[in-house]
Structure 1
Amino acid sequence: MRLGINLGYWQRDPVDDTETVLAAERLGYDQVFTAEAYGSDAFTTLTWYGARTSRIGLGTAVTQMSARTPAATAMHALTLDALSGGRLTLGLGASGPQVVEGWYGVPFARPLARTREYVRILRDVWRRAEPVTSTGPHYPLPLRSYGVSDGVTGLGKPLKSIAHPLRPDIPIYLGAEGPKNVALSTEIAQGWLPLFVDPERIEPVFGASLRDRPDGFDIAATVTTIVTDDVAAALEVAKIPLAFYIGGMGARDRNFHLDLIGRLGYAEEAARVQDLFLAGRRDEAIRAVPDALADAISLLGPLDRIRERLRLWLDSPVTTLLIAGVKDEPTLKAIRAMVPA
């Protein structure tokens, strides 16, 4: 199993996690991942850390497709990959309609088809076999005119990147939760980035979606990790992001995170969390998250307890463990010692 860290995105104030990243590199961690929601972006922070390191892999978990056209993402990726000496793993996600239409102001339409089209354009840009064109409905290249009043000049022409990518095959991982999205990752990507995963429930929940994954396919799971002697306090902290995603990262009638928690066996509890969160009773929503759920998808408690629960991950289909929440070097070192290289 490979081991990495996931720094996530800024919650409120800017955070420079350079010391954490340097410690992870010294200790032999394989990768550092950054993320974005609707605040800090993933590429800038990842470039910041890439400029201060020399070996550790750099990943996005995840960049949101609707934030950038495929060409823009391809440019970001080939630039960072070249400057870092070929260390980039590009994690992509479709996000959900609340963010896509509310923050980026673009339609949330046919996410599976959009993802397939997006990834194909990325690879066409990096391969530079010919000028990039796309006949797909989501990202037509060149842009077509649909009428005299749409503002399209009709002068667009197929172009080829003037920069030669260091690697024409930058690894792409998909952040996915629904069964069809997870299956799509095994078809068009090199890895899958699950957000909330119970190592004991991967086969019953995702087994059918992962059945056709190719050899070397990477399942890189982010795991909230809190080292403390107070397990009850750690559970309360681990519940906070769960309540936020179940209650606030999606509409009442269309929330992919809530749906996933239901498939993990907590549908009734998740509905209760959502009701409380949307009613503005956020503290109650956090408390309503089941202890068993927060514990199953996290690594919480004293190091001996974490070592014991880590066996569940080592025995699971997960191939990369992304530790989230740990910032100090002694704890990073202790966890590194628990995971076989």
Structure 2
Amino acid sequence: MKSEVCGRPSFDVVVDPGTGRAAEIAHRAENVGFGGFFLGETSHDPLLLLAAASQTTSTMTLGTSIYVAFARTPMVTAVAANDVQALSHGRLRLGLGSQVKPHITRRFSMPWSRPAARMREYVQALHAIWDAWETGSPLDFDGEFYQHTLMTPMFDPGPNPFGRPPVQLAGVGEAMSRVAGEVADGFLVHSFVTDRYLAEVVLPSVQEGLSCSGRPRRDFTIGVTPMVACGTTADEIAAARDHVRGQIAFYGSTPAYRGVLDLHGWAGLHEKLYALSKAGEWDVMRSLIDDDVLAAFAVVGSVEEVADALVARWGAVSDHISVAARSSDSLAGWRSVLKNTEAQVINEVHD
């Protein structure tokens, strides 16, 4: 959470730790000075790895960015998140995302329908399950998509001594942003976003949801994970820039995300990227991302330059900024930046 005095967001890190290295990398990230350690769900189960990371860290937030909600039932997620919340002594931040239809139906073999409505009910079901464990009241959730009406003593873990984890939703469009404001504790802004799209589309939709739920913005957290191309040498920065062009091309080819490009008048770029993705021309796709598009989505430079640019672009609208570390060795470059940021916050608080 950003300081209420100076409004400065905290810096978290998102990594792909690889099998067996989450605990080690989380420990290094905490020592470097990151406030949070986030794992996405690609080729590993993030909650399983965060359970390991909870044993080598003591202060940093541990979060999923994201955990694929529709790949599992609310009961499965409620149980796993409850365990990690206990293991971490209350440091879990459960970030949920919907993924896209082909992955849910063809990779996970799970149903797909009206993702925003399903996600709203998913979060409500999670809280109904946690309520039953906390209070001992009968579990009686009967929704359109999920029904949870059985909880016998053998399967009831009882109240969690550290409470329930905050739930954050991730998304790109207006509908999911609005649902986050209605039922979640925060919103995780997708990496495929520009500051204009955030200001004109995402934040107004979140505010609509908050108004519907009767909650103020201060009770809700917004996290951003901007695309970053940084390094310690010119060659490293050039390689990182090329990598980010590939990220933008990949997301820009996805029909569900074309609204971001449409807002900037780049609909034709989506059509080209989509056609190339169908042909498997991934390298060609990267070449279509020119410097203007790159600058709209990413910040580029040394670690120090990137840190300043991230705060300048995203600090006023977010509570925490996550940076992606492409390797565990790249964590060390942030040490001096994070220590300077910490010292500056302390000075501003005392002033």
Q: TM-score, normalised by structure 1?
A: 0.84
1:163 aligns with 2:158: yes
Structure 1 residue 261: Cα displacement: 3.4
Deviates more, 1:73-82 or 1:214-223: 214-223
CA distances 1:114-142 after superposition (whole Å, capped 9, x unpaired): 11111112112222232222221211234
Please list the CA deviations of residues 196-250 of structure 1 after superposition, one character each: whole Å capped at 9, or x if unmatched: 2323542123242133443232111112333232454332111222222333xx5
User: Structure 2: any 5+ residue segments left out of the alignment?
Assistant: 1-8, 211-215, 346-351
Contact 2:172 2:202 in 1 (8 A): no
The letter for the 2-side match of 1:113 is A
Q: Check the 8 A contact 1:224/1:325 in 2, yes or no.
A: no
Match in the other structure for 1:66: 70
* Equivalent residue in structure 2 for 1:116, among 115, 120, 125: 120
Q: Which amino acid aligns with 1:164?
A: P
Q: Is residue 34 of structure 2 the alignment partner of residue 29 of structure 1?
A: yes
Distance 2:323 2:23 in 1: 16
Distance 1:158 1:35 in 2: 30
Shift of the 125–336 alpha-carbon distance from structure 1 to 2, 3 Å rule, reads same
- Aligned partner of 2:229 in structure 1 is 226
The structure with more helix, counted as a fraction of residues: 2
- Superposition CA RMSD, Å: 2.4
Mapping 1:290-329, distance limit 5 Å: 290-325=290-325, 327=328, 328-329=330-331
* Residues 21 and 8 (structure 1), Cα distance of their counterparts in 2 relative to 1, 3 Å cut: same
Aligned residue for 1:210? 206
Contact 2:10 2:321 in 1 (8 A): yes
**C-alpha displacement of 1:15:** 6.7
Alignment match, 1:140: 147
Q: Is 1:269 the equivalent of 2:276?
A: no
How far apart are the structure 2 equivalents of 1:189 and 1:313? 25
Residue 5 of structure 2 corresponds to none
- Give the aligned partner of residue 287 of structure 1: 287
Aligned pair in 2 of structure 1 residues 227, 125: CA closer, same or farther (>3 Å)? same
Asked if structure 2 preserves the Cα contact closer than 8 Å seen for 1:225 and 1:299, the reply is: yes
Partner residue, 2:187: 192
Is the 8 Å Cα contact of residues 39 and 64 (structure 2) preserved in structure 1? yes
Taking structure 1 as reference, are residues 93 and 26 closer, same or farther at Cα in structure 2, changes over 3 Å only? same
Deviation at 1:178, TM superposition (A): 0.9
Counterpart selection for 1:55 from 48, 56, 59: 59
Contact 1:89 1:172 in 2 (8 A): yes
CA 1:83–1:336 in structure 2 vs 1: closer, same or farther (change >3 Å)? same
- Return the alpha-carbon distance in structure 2 between the equivalents of residues 336 and 265 of structure 1: 37
- Corresponding residue to 1:175 among 165, 170, 179: 170
Residue in structure 2 matched with residue 5 of structure 1 by the alignment: 13
2:31 maps to amino acid: R
Partner residue, 1:149: none
Q: Match for residue 151 of structure 1? A: none
Specify which of 228, 236, 241 is matched with residue 235 of structure 1. 241
Report the secondary structure of 1:211's partner residue.
helix
Equivalent residues of 1:234, 1:301 under 8 A apart = no
Q: Any idea what SS the aligned residue of 1:55 has? A: coil
Q: Percent identity?
A: 24
Letter in 1 for 2:317: P
Residue aligned with 2:189, SS: coil
Contact kept? 1:227, 1:301, Cα under 8 Å: yes
Q: What are structure 1's unaligned runs of at least 5 residues?
A: 143-156
